[in-house]
Amino acid sequence: MVFKKYFENDYWIKNPPAHDLLNKVSCLKYYFQTYADYYDFDWKLIAALAYQESRFNNHKRSSAGALGIMQIKLSTAKDRHVNLPNIKDLETNIHAGVKYLAFIRDRYFSDPHLAREEQENLTLAAYNAGPAKVRKLQRKAEKMGLDPYKWLYNVEVAARQIVGTETVNYVTSIQKMRIFLDASKRFDNSKRQVLEKTLVKNP
């Protein structure tokens, strides 16, 4: 079911601009890795989230006032749980976004019943729709006889009924891009290993 969910549409594989942008702007990858490591996330998940939010455009501003690469609001950045208000600065913007994501995870989705994958999916959904709404979706899923601790084919079913497809598509798109970035990393490592073997044989 998970394979079908992420691979039934291969448009995203044929159009992978996020990987190219990461290679062109090397500091992005460094910042994603630095703050992902600090707050215990996979950096590819953070990169995929940032791409989904802004296509890596730090000058983007939403109609709701969200700023920069990870589209965080100034009110959120000023909140005592984040306290990084200078979000026009590229590095600070990324730091604030990851710190807020970690706050959502640790405050709302730290239940021991949650597997890490499900914790990530629910946290991503809350970054998009808000933590209170996602907790409401969990309760709705439970009333529907679904597992409130699983996103795919469970809480996302409730999400479609209550908030529509935006949040469902949001989580799916991020996980697809994360898979692509992970596959690209393995491919790059394979190419490097082949090159190293070639150099050894033909110095």
Cα torsion at 99, 179, 34, 133 (round to 10°)?
Answer: 0
Task: Please state the length of the chain.
Answer: 203
Residues with catalytic function: 53
Token pair in block for residue 200:
């050894």
CB-based burial label for 171 (10 Å; 0-12, 13-18, 19+): buried
Q: Which backbone phi and psi does 151 adopt, to 5 degrees?
A: -80, -60
Check if the beta carbon of residue 22 is closer than 8 Å to that of residue 28: yes
Check if the beta carbon of residue 151 is closer than 8 Å to that of residue 118: yes
Q: What angle do CA 180, 117, 26 make, to 5 degrees?
A: 40
